[in-house]
Amino acid sequence: MSELDRVMLDPQAVETPVGYVDLGRARNNAAKVVEYANVHGLRWRPHVKTHKSLTIARLQIEAGASGLTVATLREAEVMSSVTDDLLLAYPPVGPNKLERLFALPHRVDLKVALDSVDVLAELGGASVATGRELGVLVEQDMGMGRVGLPSPEAVVELAQIAAETPGIRFRGVMFYPGHIRMSEPEQDAHLEEVSGMVADTLHALLAAGLEPEIVSGGSTPTIWRSHEVEGLTEIRPGSCIFYDREGLDVGVADVDDLAYTVLATVVSTAVPGRAVVDAGSKALAKESRGGGGGFGVLLDRPDILVASVSEEHGVLDVSESDWVPRIGERVRIIPNHVCVSVNLQDHLLTIDGGAHSLLSLEGRGRGPWQP
């Protein structure tokens, strides 16, 4: 399949389940983020794990994104064809990944986020061996407890080592406030704490003679409050290009902003109070994000919950609804978490100006990408 099959498609002829994208809404979402970032003196470096698509990446760059964030070497290889500015927000461990990283086009300004001397040493050795300077962002944990150094002192120590490592250039710091997944005003105390931690780290770095060029942070649930984090220079929200049920629940998006749903077909109504669709965990994923339980809701009937999922079955609770689903009827489901749903698709069905096309997901998978 080509990157974007522009042959006119009858959407009824496309098998379900399939991710369904409104490209017009995606463009509008990108434009809103860029406008917000520009107003507040920030850059937007969206994380492509949400879409893994060259077409959507181009859309983001055309809207004004400053570069792209990737998590895998496959994503880096794919996205190096649309931007010269990449951040690998994941430490590359192992010789094969290092080889692929340094094989990326030399025109690309490469930056890697890390939180250990071990990864830094391997990157430094590869940088010297290939004669290619590599930028490094030191990652700090701001409360999520997943990766990142625990304190400003630890960040400074690793940043100093990075600045002294041949082949490496210390570029700045990175964090991800992924633990802040609530609506306002519950976010207030968490954002205040993160802002204070960032300020402490920047003060410690400057006191050590290390001026960070890049302070990279942000997330979709906190997107419109990113400017409240003092010292931030760029944000990396990714799911804001499509949004999902979580985005609606925390209040950063409205239904009219939703650019992604899963198109599914009713396949059974045998059990009273239930309807089964062909979108199960292998189309929607099995994340419980969102405040209302379940694994998604219907776009046109948000009171109807995807109450449970198995691999190929999605069970809709219609017990309190006056809707009488019919076998063969198609529905659109808002998944809890868009990123993992997209990754389960072979391709996406898109609509743009009334025309339907199939969109490839070149960044999916782990193996090397061949243009």
User: Mind listing the domains of the chain with CATH numbers?
Assistant: 24-242 (3.20.20.10), 255-359 (2.40.37.20)
Is the peptide bond prior to 17 cis by the omega test (within 30 degrees of 0)?
A: yes
Tell me the pLDDT tens digit for each residue of 167-205. Answer: 999 999 999 999 999 999 999 999 999 999 999 999 999
Residue 289 banded pLDDT, cuts 50, 70, 90: confident
Give CA–CA dist 266/247, Å, rounded: 26
Reduce the DSSP state of residue 297 to 3 states and report it: strand
Residue 8 banded pLDDT, cuts 50, 70, 90: low
Least confident of 9-18, 54-63, 189-198, 234-243: 9-18
Q: What is the mean pLDDT of the chain?
A: 96
Reduce the DSSP state of residue 191 to 3 states and report it: helix
Give CA–CA dist 311/121, Å, rounded: 42
Q: Counting Cβ atoms within 10 Å, is residue 231 exposed (0-12), middle (13-18) or buried (19+)?
A: middle
Give CA–CA dist 5/192, Å, rounded: 46
| pLDDT score, position 7 | 52
Query: What would you report as the CA-atom Rg of the chain, rounded to the nearest whole angstrom?
Result: 22
Give CA–CA dist 120/100, Å, rounded: 16
DSSP 118: H
Q: Name 67's Cβ contacts closer than 8 Å, sequence gap at least 6.
A: 43, 45, 83, 84, 85, 86, 87, 109
HEC profile for 142-171?
CCCCCCCECCHHHHHHHHHHHHHCCCEEEE
Residue 292 banded pLDDT, cuts 50, 70, 90: confident
User: What average pLDDT does range 351-371 have in this prediction?
Assistant: 95
CB 330 within 8 A of CB 321: no
Percent of the chain exceeding pLDDT 90 equals 95
The pTM assigned to this predicted structure is 0.96
**Is the pLDDT at 291 greater than 80, yes or no?**
no
Q: Tell me which amino acid residue 133 is.
A: E
Tell me the pLDDT tens digit for each residue of 49-69. Answer: 999 999 999 999 999 999 999
Give CA–CA dist 100/108, Å, rounded: 13
Q: Name 40's Cβ contacts closer than 8 Å, sequence gap at least 6.
A: 226, 227
| pLDDT score, position 288 | 83
